[in-house]
Amino acid sequence: MTSNAESRSGPLSHVRVLDLSRIMAGPWASQILADLGADVIKVERPGVGDDTRGWGPPFLKDREGNATRDSGYFLCVNRGKRSITINIATTEGQEIVRKLARESDILLENYKVGALARYGLAYDDLKDENPALIYASVTGFGQDGPKAPRAAYDFMIQAMGGLMSVTGESDERPGGGPQKVGVPIVDLMTGMYTAVAVLAALARRAETGRGEFIDLAMLDVQLGFLANQAMNYMISGKAPKRNGNSHPNIQPQNVYPCRDGHIAIAVGNDGQFVKFAEQLGRKKLGEDERFRLNADRVVNLVALNEIIVDTLAGDSMAGWVAKFESAGVPCSPINTVPDLFEDPQVKHRGMLRELDHPQAGKVPQVVSPMNFRNEPLAFDRAPPLLGQHTEDILTMLGFSQSEMEDLRGRDVI
C-alpha cells in the first residue's frame, strides 16, 4: 500500500504501518517492521511526543555538543519511522488518523482498553472503512478479564509474571533476592510476539483479503516465555527458585571465578563435559559416576562446583578461555557493553551503524540482526525528530499548505 515518494527496500517495502503506540513494546514491534522495509508512520502528541523521548539522561548531542530532546531510550526503538504530530482528542485529529488507517495495512496501538473507542478509533470503528486492516492492540493484561482495565509497565509484569522469582542470586547467598532482567525484556518480547502476529495476519490476508484484530497482553507474553521454568513446575509440582547464574537443568553452566576475573561456562551435553574435564586437567571427572551424565551432575552439583572452582583458580581468564575454545567447550569472558562493541565478531557482522541525523549529524544504532540475501535490509532512516514528517504525510493525504497552517494554529498537529 505504500506510495510515499521515498522508496523503501526490504521484504516489507510494500507495507504501510500506522503506529499509534508509544513507550517500548509497540514501538519495538514497529521498529522491526520498519527494519524490514515497511513505511511506519509514528503518531505522536504535538509538543510532547512519545514519553520515551524524555527518558534520560543520556540525551543525544547535536553538532555543537548540546543535548537534544531525544533520549537514548527513544533512539533505540524508533529507527526507520516517520513522525507526525496529531492531537487525537480533536475531531480533526481523529479524522486524520482515520484517513491514515484507510491507507494502511497494519495499525499498532497500546492504549488502555477502550481508550481509542472514545475517539472513534477502535478496530470496530475502522474495520468497515478498511476491511483489510490488521489492527494489533498491545495492553498489559489483554482486552478482557478482571485486570484488563489496569495499566502496566515492564517492571511490574516481570514481578507479577514470575520472572523475578527465578532471576537473581539465591536467597541463601549474599545479594540474594528478586531481580529484574537488565533490559525491559517483557516489552521487548511483547514487541517480538506482536511483529510475528501481524506478519502471520498479513500472510493470511494475502489468501483471504480479510484483516484481523490481534489482542496481545504483556502478562500473557511473560507467562509464555517462562518456558522451561514453567514446564519444570508443571511436571514436578515444585516452584522454581532463583539460582543466580546456575542453570536449573544443565550443568555445569555458571559464572565461575578464575585467577584474574570470571568466566561463563556452558557445558551443554555429556560429550562436552568429557572435553571440559580434560581441559581442566581432571580427565577422570568424565568417568566419575557422580558426574558422567547431566542428570547426575545436576544432583551432585555442590561437589562438582567445589572441584571446578578449586581448579579454575590456577589459571587466568584468558588462559581458560583459550583452552576451552580449542576443545569446543562453550565459554566466554564476562564482557561489558563497551567490550562487546570491540568484539571482532560484532564488528565483522556490522551490527553497529551510524545513520544520518538532522541535528546530530550522525546517530549510532544497533541494527536488526535479520539478514536477507535476496531482499537486503537498508537502514536509511534515523529515529525521527518530533513531527519531522508531519507536512510530508499530510501532503500525501491531500492537505494543502493553508489547511496545514490552520490545523497547526488550532493545535491539531
CATH number at residue 289: 3.30.1540.10
| C-alpha to C-alpha distance for 108 and 31, rounded to whole angstroms | 11
Is residue 236 assigned to a domain? no
Note whether 26 and 142 are same-domain residues: yes
Number of domains into which the chain is organized: 2
Distances in Å between the Cα of 7 and the Cα atoms of 31, 38, 39, 81, 390 are 17, 10, 9, 13, 18
187, 270, 310, 406: which one is catalytic? 187
Note whether 114 and 74 are same-domain residues: yes
Is residue 110 assigned to a domain? yes
Beta bridge partner(s), residue 217: 139
Alpha carbon dihedral 50, 51, 56, 60, in 10-degree steps, equals 10
| C-alpha to C-alpha distance for 351 and 367, rounded to whole angstroms | 5
CATH number at residue 399: 3.40.50.10540
Domain range for 329 is 253-334
Is residue 248 assigned to a domain? no
Note whether 278 and 313 are same-domain residues: yes
Residues sharing a CB contact under 8 Å with residue 34, sequence separation 6 or more, in sequence order: 17, 40, 79, 80, 81, 381
Is residue 5 assigned to a domain? no
User: CB of 372 within 8 A of CB of 358?
Assistant: no
pLDDT of residue 1: 60
Note whether 176 and 286 are same-domain residues: no
pLDDT of residue 7: 74
Single out the residue in 306, 334, 362 at which a domain terminates. Answer: 334
Note whether 269 and 132 are same-domain residues: no
Note whether 129 and 38 are same-domain residues: yes
Note whether 69 and 122 are same-domain residues: yes
pLDDT of residue 172: 86
Is residue 266 assigned to a domain? yes
What is the full per-residue pLDDT of the chain (413 aa) written as tens digits?
A: 654 446 788 999 999 999 999 999 999 999 999 999 999 999 999 999 999 999 999 999 999 999 999 999 999 999 999 999 999 999 999 999 999 999 999 999 999 999 999 999 999 999 999 999 999 999 999 999 999 999 999 999 999 999 999 999 988 888 899 999 999 999 999 999 999 999 999 999 999 999 999 999 999 999 999 999 999 999 999 999 999 999 999 999 999 999 999 999 999 999 999 999 999 999 999 999 999 999 999 999 999 999 999 999 999 999 999 999 999 999 999 999 999 999 999 999 999 999 999 999 999 999 999 999 999 999 999 999 999 999 999 999 999 999 999 999 999 99
| Longest CA pairwise span in the chain (Å) | 84
Note whether 330 and 395 are same-domain residues: no
Note whether 119 and 148 are same-domain residues: yes
Single out the residue in 288, 305, 334 at which a domain terminates. Answer: 334
Active-site residue 19, yes or no?
Answer: no
| C-alpha to C-alpha distance for 87 and 387, rounded to whole angstroms | 12
Is residue 6 assigned to a domain? no
Is residue 307 assigned to a domain? yes
- The pTM of the full predicted model, rounded to 2 decimals, is 0.93
Note whether 262 and 299 are same-domain residues: yes
Residue 98's H or E segment, with its range, is: helix 91-102
> Phi then psi for 359, rounded to 5 degrees?
-100, -45
Is residue 152 assigned to a domain? yes
Note whether 316 and 353 are same-domain residues: no
Note whether 136 and 285 are same-domain residues: no
Single out the residue in 307, 334, 361 at which a domain terminates. Answer: 334
Closest-CA residue to 77 (of 8, 155, 153, 24)? 24
| C-alpha to C-alpha distance for 200 and 192, rounded to whole angstroms | 12
